[in-house]
Amino acid sequence: MLEYFELNAAGKPAALMIWLHGLGADGYDLEPAAQMLGAGNVRHVFPHAPARPVTLNGGMAMRAWYDIAAADLRWREDREGILASARQVRELAGALRGESALPLVLAGFSQGAVVSLAAAAQGVPGLIGVAAMSGYVPRFLLPVPADMRSVRVLMAHGEQDEVVPFALGKAGRDALAESGVAVDWRAYAMPHTICQQELRDVSGWLSGLLEQA
C-alpha cells in the first residue's frame, strides 16, 4: 500500500480527503494547501507516489504517479501507469475508510489530478467529490462510466499554465460534462501552480459537498 502521512481533524472528522501531489514532489508538497482550506473537520491524508523512471526527464527516477513520454501529454499516454496508480489510491482509500466509513474526497495537482480522475472513473466506495487542479483527462478514460456521474468534480486551471496547457484542461472539463458529470470550472491568471483564490474556491466547494453528504 502507498506510504502516507496525515493531518488529523480537530475532533470527530466529517470526511476523509486524500491529496495526490504532482511530478517530482511528494505528499508533503500539498500539506500547506490542505492547511489553508481551514477544513478542521476533515482528516487529510497525503500519500507519496513511488519513484520511477520518467522518460520526459531523460529516464531519471523520481516520484511520479505515471510516466510521461513528451511535453505533449497526450502522446503515448501511460495508460497502465495511470490505472496502476489509480488502483493504489483506491486500495488506500478502502483501507482508510474501513476504519471509519467517512465520505471521501480526492484532491490532486497536475499528475495527481489525472490519477484522482482515473480513480473516480474506476469507482471508489464513498467518493463524493474530486478536486482536480491543473490536470487533464486522458483520452482512454472517455467516455467515463455512468457511475462517475454521481461524483461532483471541481476542475481548476491557470490560464498561463506552461506545463499542462489551459486548453487541455478545459477540453477535459468539456469532455466530462458531455459524459454527464457535474463539473465546476475555475480559471485563474497564473502558471502551473496553486493560488490562494483557488484554495478559497476549493474550500467553498468542499463545504458545499459536506453539507449535502
DSSP string, 70-89: SSSTTTT--HHHHHHHHHHH
**Which of the residues 85, 110, 116, 134 is marked catalytic?**
110
pLDDT at 110: 98
Cβ–Cβ under 8 Å, residues 92 and 18: yes
Give pLDDT < 50 ranges for the chain.
none
Told to judge if 44 belongs to the known catalytic residues of this protein, a careful annotator would answer no
pLDDT at 102: 93
pLDDT at 105: 98
Closest residue by Cα to residue 64 from 16, 106, 29: 29
pLDDT at 74: 76
Q: In this structure, what C-alpha cell is assigned to residue 69?
A: 513520454
The whole-angstrom separation of Cα 184 and Cα 200 is: 14
Per the omega criterion (within 30 degrees of 0), is the bond before 103 cis? no
Told to judge if 110 belongs to the known catalytic residues of this protein, a careful annotator would answer yes
Closest residue by Cα to residue 39 from 169, 131, 112, 157: 131
How large is the C-alpha radius of gyration of the chain?
16
pLDDT at 213: 73
The whole-angstrom separation of Cα 95 and Cα 179 is: 30
* Maximum Cα interatomic distance, the chain, rounded to a whole number of Å: 46
Told to judge if 161 belongs to the known catalytic residues of this protein, a careful annotator would answer yes
Helices (H), the chain: 31-37, 79-97, 111-122, 166-178, 196-212
CA of 211: how far to CAs of 15, 52, 204, 205, in Å?
11, 39, 11, 10
Fold of the CATH domain 4-212:
Rossmann fold (3.40.50)
pLDDT at 40: 84
Closest residue by Cα to residue 133 from 40, 79, 206: 206
**Which of the residues 48, 184, 192, 203 is marked catalytic?**
192
pLDDT at 180: 93
pLDDT at 73: 77
Closest residue by Cα to residue 128 from 100, 158, 150, 95: 150
